[in-house]
Amino acid sequence: MKATVVGGGIGGLAAAVALHQRGWQVEVLERAPAFTEVGAGLSIQPNGLRALDEIGLGDRVRSSGLTDPVTGIRTANGSWLIRNDIADLKRRFGSWATVHRADLIDLLRAALPAQALRPGIDVRHVQPDGTVVHSGGSSTADLVVGADGVHSVTRRSLWPHLPGPRYVGYTTWRFIAPPHQVEGSVETWGRGERFGQVPMPDGRVYCYVMANAPADSRTALEELRARFAHWHDPIPALLRSARPDAVLQHDTYELPKLRSYVHGKAAVLGDAAHAMTPNLGQGACQALEDAVTLAATVDTHGVSAGLEAYDRSRRPRTQMIARLSRQVGSPAHWTSTSLTTLRDAALPRLPSALFERSLTPTYTWTAHAAPHVG
């Protein structure tokens, strides 16, 4: 059996590895000249690590990543809104790991034979009969996996009339700061803006800033430094240490709900199927869950029944998590003083059990033997 995977990001490579390990012939078509990722960190949560366990890579990520750095949310003056009990979270759900994105891509890429990787191939059109038209000619396969991200050509080819991704109203800057002493993975909320700091295994700190802004607006690093100059330590120092050429800015998009993730011999996964806000840090974790589930279903039940089972298993879960992600992040983007004052007074009083209960279905995922068919 042969699979053509469109897109060699985390989701596409994970799907290719999972299918390859089941004896499928795979090719991964990647538009970029090399398989790589942006210079930023990535938090792999307990469910994402369990998905990596399915392809034998979970422990490699646990041992090379920085595990369990989760701590909570603070206000701009440093007081705690939510402070997690890391030991308790770990006991309930398992480990977290923070990695450099490029390291995860390298790990996945190394689990594939070199001839499966086809960089520099731009996919132009995908047909439900398994034909993929691209800059190198065309490919035909028993299964096409559309893992080509939020602006997916696969999705547009299969469902040309669906609305595209929508801008959620805030933009994101990301950079990796030189080594700094930070107490854990902390997000700090202001009015319509927030700052995140996540320690990396080598002592450097992955930082991100999210702020309300019109789509396509661009902000210089100097402006960010001035904006956060009076926030609690070490935020001003982290921003001062950033190299202007290493700061990435991307607007935040999410995808309206799809009514199906499959069409004929093709399926979409990861951001191509359910691009979500980054608030829960679940986009890549869900792409990993999709990838191992898809490989298990099509390999166990055949492409047609397997894709139906994949859609039934993955669509409700990923759409529920996308909704939750949108909801948990929205109070950080409130701009009314009365609302944020209320928020800052209410959040510290919330029982931590409430927070844990809302996230339990997300974190407790395990790969079942292939989902029920028929």
The reply on whether position 283 binds ligand FAD by CB under 6 A is yes
The reply on whether position 42 binds ligand FAD by CB under 6 A is yes
Q: Which is nearer to ligand FAD, 37 or 299 (CB)?
A: 37
Helices 303-329 and 352-363 cross at an angle (nearest 10°) of 160
The reply on whether position 270 binds ligand FAD by CB under 6 A is yes
Q: Which residue has the tokens 């279903």?
A: 297
Give the shortest CB-342-to-ligand FAD separation in angstroms. 27
- Contact with ligand FAD (CB under 6 A) among 103, 271, 299, 311: 271
Q: Which residue has the tokens 């995977």?
A: 5
Total chain residues near ligand FAD (CB under 6 A): 34
Burial of residue 259 (CB within 10 Å: 0-12, 13-18, 19+) is exposed
Give, as one character, the DSSP assignment of residue 5: E
User: Exposure string (b/e) for 301-321, b if CB count within 10 Å is 16 or more?
Assistant: bebeebbbbbbbbbbebbbeb
Question: For residue 232, how far is the Cα from the chain centroid?
Answer: 28
String of contacts with ligand FAD for each residue 151-190, x by CB under 6 A: --x------------------x-x----------------
- Contact with ligand FAD (CB under 6 A) among 3, 5, 6, 370: 6
Q: Which residue has the tokens 């960010």?
A: 224
Amino acid at 290: D
String of contacts with ligand FAD for each residue 187-216, x by CB under 6 A: ---------------------x--------
Closest Cα to residue 174, out of 67, 15, 73, 281? 281
The reply on whether position 285 binds ligand FAD by CB under 6 A is yes
Binding residues for ligand FAD (CB under 6 A): 6-12, 29-32, 42-43, 48, 122-123, 147-149, 153, 172, 174, 208, 250, 270-272, 278, 281-285, 287
